[in-house]
Structure 1
Amino acid sequence: MTIKDPRRTEGVAPPSIHVGRLILAPRDSELCPDRDRLIRTLSEAGFIADPILDRECAFLVGPEFSALLAFVGCAVAIADDPQIGGPFCHVVVPQASAHPRWCHGRNTGAPRCPACRARSSDWPSPFKQVALELARGHRSASVVCPSCGRAHPIRSWDWKQQGGFARLLVQVEEIFPGEAVPTDGLFDLLERASGCAWRHFYVQD
């Protein structure tokens, strides 16, 4: 599944820079579905194929991968062959964490306050500190909005599709932000395997 895409050859993302990843995660970041069942469901549906032996928790894309993701634009290039020597598209299902982890990257912007909808003018310093508290198990870890003065749990801020929190997630590597969108069929699979609703967002290292 390798098709030419001019965006990948015009200097948008040089080989040394992480193209990005599509992250699928439960809407409720406290939930931690059964990882083995999730992997089994994705494998049976053809979203993932064989494990990649030299990469932890990683899988080759399966025969139904491109049917379960909707690719935006025409002539999108997804290199999925690990033998080519460069970055290639694959799926990673990391081990679950004890507490919600913050997934963010260079594309993550200031989130909006869940009450007044203003973007945080303090971004990113207080969020980094509070995210560490959350990772240590402080579930009420909150950030005060500079605009309205109210404190809100860090997970309740509106991160759009540029970040989020999860204990268990599915990462599709080497995907530009917005380049691929999960189909209803993929969300149905995830919900069937976990018993909960899922969301998606994008992160660039």
Structure 2
Amino acid sequence: MKSGPDIARIAALIGDPARANMLTALMSGKALTATELAAEAGVTPQTASSHLARLTEGGLLRQQKQGRHKYLSLAGDEIGRLLELLMGVAAGAGHLRSRTGPADPALRHARVCYSHLAGDLGTQLFDALLAQGIIARQGEALRLTEAGRGFATGFGIDIAALSVGRAPLCRECLDWSERRAHLAGSFGRALLTRIEALGWASRQDDSRALRFSPAGERAFRAQFALVTA
């Protein structure tokens, strides 16, 4: 047997349809109970418990107990990026689910990718941040520029607090619907948090779609100098 990371085990964990539904449900960044995840997967609570145990043991999920309930979430930002990338590969190869609905255009316009803004508005934001010199490429990595630090402070983001954490400030994430990059990392997460705090957009309870109010989207586009839709 060859040595090295066992990608087959991770692929098998993600590859089951019920487990895939559970994982994508957690890409909203919210922690959910086993009962809620059973409903997302369309399986019984007993079956869900078995699936969730395997995902936790495999390092894809983490559990947190609060009172009588156990909440589950993705084990880290890298799991969210992996799922987003797999969704992009599936979409590009034509492997699409047959069930569609009114949420699909909303997901493509703006959605939460674990902790940051994705979709059309997410990729537009990424392009604007690069064009304005707020972020810059450094080899294959991204960095927040000095101008970007000043911008962040003016926008109400505490960069010093973000720099304390282990997560990189800026990281690219391939957007599954746009097939271009949107911004991940602690700065990407802070931007989404600030957008929500300003009341420009809100998360939907039963979807990863992020709904911008008309006034909120105008303010968002003005703040980041995006082309008006």
Using structure 2 for the length normalisation, give the TM-score: 0.28
Using structure 1 for the length normalisation, give the TM-score: 0.31
